[in-house]
Amino acid sequence: MPNIVVLVKQVPDTYSERRLSDADHTLDRESADAVLDEINERAVEEALLLKEAHGGEVTVLSVGPDRATEAIRKALSMGADKAVHVSDPALHGSCLLQTTRVLAAAIGRVDGVDLVVAGNEATDGRGGAVPAMLAEALGYPQLTHARKVTLDGDTVTVVRETDTGLTHLRATLPAVVSVGEKINEPRYPSFKGIMAAKKKPVETLTVADLGIDAAEVGLASASTTVLEATPKPPRAAGQRVEDGGDGGQKIAEYLIGQKLV
Amino acid sequence: MSEVLVLVDEIDGEAKKVTFELLTAARELGEPSAVVVAAPGTAARLKDSLAAYGAAKVYVAESDDVPNYLVTPKVDVLAALVGAAAPAAVLVPATAEGKEIAGRLAVRTDSGLLVEAVGVATEDGAVVGTQSIFGGAFTVKAKATRGTPIVTVRPGGVDAVEAAGAAVEETVEVPAADAARATAVTGREPVVGGDRPELTEASIVVSGGRGVGSAEKFEVVEKLADVLGAAVGASRAAVDSGYYPAQFQVGQTGKTVSPQLYVALGISGAIQHRAGMQTSKTIVAVNKDAEAPIFEIADFGVVGDLFAVAPQLTDEVAKRKG
């Protein structure tokens, strides 16, 4: 029976405008609507499907500000069993490396983890690397960008889908899996699920609880630093014409003028 | 001048365009050393093209293990080279695999990771990566504060420029895979891409949106793309409606493209879509709604029926190309 940890993250809604804060160039999390990253819902769904097929337990793990509780509640109301929320002001401005180490330490606290499931790419940072980095930090094999996940005893097989095509992967548990857009259709939480989620345990931890010195995380000790951030001047509108039956010709003339054809 | 490692992206012994872009970028920082981690016999086929884009050195790490394991053989080789060559930086393509390689390398070498750079430079002795974030709404300059800067460079972010290099070969061992921690590759089904260029590598992209109306009618987008030698893209609305496959989606939750020319057909231009294409050099839009937000960022816009305008444009371009 697999013990599954699923990572969730609260991100700014991609349909609203996102900004960087003026003070320290970190994401201005107040200025945008936050939602549970779509891909995280698929990760939760896949963890629940594996649990339904093989038994075991699903633990939600989130590292982020207090607002992340909404994402955690959503995952619990979908059917996850319990949650670990690492929330600490010291984490503000953490780099990918620090985030990876915090996630790895938190996973280390969950007993007998067999599988870590994550979305393949958060829509905000777009690093696309955290699941692989986590596998490196944990010393687990990575089976990333999955469109199909199969468990058989202590063997996990995955069909990986990227721009280059499909790759069939196999590894031994414990392992890190990241799921892609096509993996499944996440369920909607039922009323019963929403009510049940309120009683599910959520453990809130600080970085000190994970045995990490607060000075090792956050903006001041990050492995990368932003030197400057400049909002791009909005693109100005160019020419616009009504199609009078020669719209295609007009575009062709424009492209020829710009030496684009 | 210090070395700059460039991980070579190739298919069947042919370098992808992004490899030349990375070699060009590496020359801003030092002397490019191309790193080939592949099946035996690959580097010999790549050597001439790597030399043509300025590779001073080519590290040849070839083993039958490379295609049989996911990601880690490349990380192992790069980590060994970071230790042995003390490079000024490591440049890796910002592809799905490249991002994972770079991420693991950063963890293993405890180094700062700069993601999706569209340019690199040396400023005050430090490697500085320029990133275009939130779909081009902000330009950010960042540097690593420890270790060896590991930089993923977005395909199309830097223009490839030829420069002669010596491409002196040096053989590097591929460490044996640790079976417990490695992921075995048991099969591959490469994308049969047809004749169109890859979306993120194309110099011209023609995209269709909800206005195209159906999967069948996407032909009008494809015909224009083919006459322009362009890749085909689609908005999220078009993908969600089932008009075109998801791997061609351009936007915040799809691909980010910055081609020389982007042609938007029947796309309204929601923030979601603009985030994936507004760094394109030139944008042309056709939409029957004069109020469509795409016109706010288009260099040339035509208010009209795409089914009248696009075929006429296709014919005009075909005539010109003879």
Tens-digit pLDDT profile for residues A165-216? 899 999 999 999 999 888 999 999 999 999 999 999 999 999 999 999 999 9
A166 burial via Cβ count (<10 Å: 0-12, 13-18, 19+): middle
For the segment B230-279, what is each residue's pLDDT rounded down to a tens digit?
999 999 999 999 999 988 999 987 888 888 899 999 999 998 899 889 88
What predicted TM-score, i.e. pTM, was given to this entire model?
A: 0.85
Please list the residue range(s) of chain B that carry CATH number 3.40.50.1220.
204-321
DSSP string covering B5-42: EEEPPEETTEE-HHHHHHHHHHTTTSEEEEEEEESTTH
Go through chain B and tell me how many residues it has.
Answer: 322
Averaged pLDDT, A108-114: 91
Q: With beta carbons under 8 A apart, name residues in chain B contacting A164.
A: 11, 95-97, 190-191
Beta-carbon separation of B185 and A142 below 8 A = no
Is the CB of residue B103 less than 8 Å away from at least one CB of chain A? yes
Cα atoms found within 13 Å of the Cα of residue B212, Cβ hemisphere only = 30
Instruction: From chain B, pick out residues whose CB is under 8 angstroms from the CB of A251.
Output: 284, 286, 300, 302, 309, 313, 316
Pinpoint the residues of chain B covered by CATH 3.40.50.620: 3-171
Domains and CATH numbers, chain A: 3-221 (3.40.50.620)
- pLDDT given for residue B179 in this prediction: 81
Query: What pLDDT score was predicted for residue B279?
Result: 84
Q: Which of B322, B306, B26 is nearest to B149 (CA)?
A: B26
> Could you give the percent of chain A with pLDDT greater than 70?
87
Tell me, letter by letter, the H, E, C secondary structure of chain A: CCEEEEECCEEECCCCCCCECCCCCCECCCCCCEEECHHHHHHHHHHHHHHHHHCCEEEEEEECCCCHHHHHHHHHHHCCCEEEEECCHHHCCCCHHHHHHHHHHHHHHCCCCCEEEEECCCCCCCCCCHHHHHHHHHCCCEEEEEEEEEEECCEEEEEEEECCEEEEEEEECCEEEEECCCCCCCCCCCHHHHHHHCCCCEEEECCHHHCCCHHHCCHHHCCEEEEEEEECCCCCCCEEEECCCCHHHHHHHHHHHCCCC
For position B302, what pLDDT does the model report?
96
Separation in Å, CA A24 to CA A17, A86, A92, A217, B310? 19, 22, 10, 15, 46
* Domain B3-171 coded CATH 3.40.50.620: yes
Question: Who contacts A29 (Cβ-Cβ below 8 Å, separation ≥6)?
Answer: A12, A65, A67
User: B204-321 has which fold?
Assistant: Rossmann fold (3.40.50)
Asked if the model's pLDDT at residue A125 lies above 50, the reply is no
The ipTM of this complex is 0.87
- Model pLDDT, residue A37: 65
Q: Collect all residues of chain B within an 8 Å Cβ-Cβ radius of residue A179.
A: none
Tokens of B164: 């002669």
Over the stretch A152-179, which tens digit does the pLDDT of each residue have? 999 999 999 887 889 999 999 999 999 9
**b or e along B138-155 (b: 16 or more beta carbons within 10 Å of the residue's beta carbon)?**
bbbbbbbbebbbbbbbbb
Lowest mean pLDDT among A18-27, B31-40, B282-291: A18-27
B contacts of A234 (beta carbons < 8 Å): 296-297
Closest CA to B111 of B79, B70, B66: B79
Whether the Cβ atoms of residue B77 and residue B50 lie closer than 8 Å to each other: no
Structure tokens given for B92: 């890796």
Nearest to A179 by CA among A156, A160, A166, A164: A160
The pLDDT of residue B200 is: 82
Q: Between residues 205 and 264 of chain B, which touch chain A (CB distance below 8 Å)?
A: 228, 246-247, 252-253, 256, 260-261
A123: pLDDT strictly greater than 50: no
Contacts with A, B 157-216, CB within 8 Å: 179-191, 198-200, 204
Residue B164 has pLDDT above 50, yes or no: yes
* Least confident among A61-65, B17-21, B224-228: A61-65
Residue B272 contacts residue B240 (beta carbons within 8 Å): no
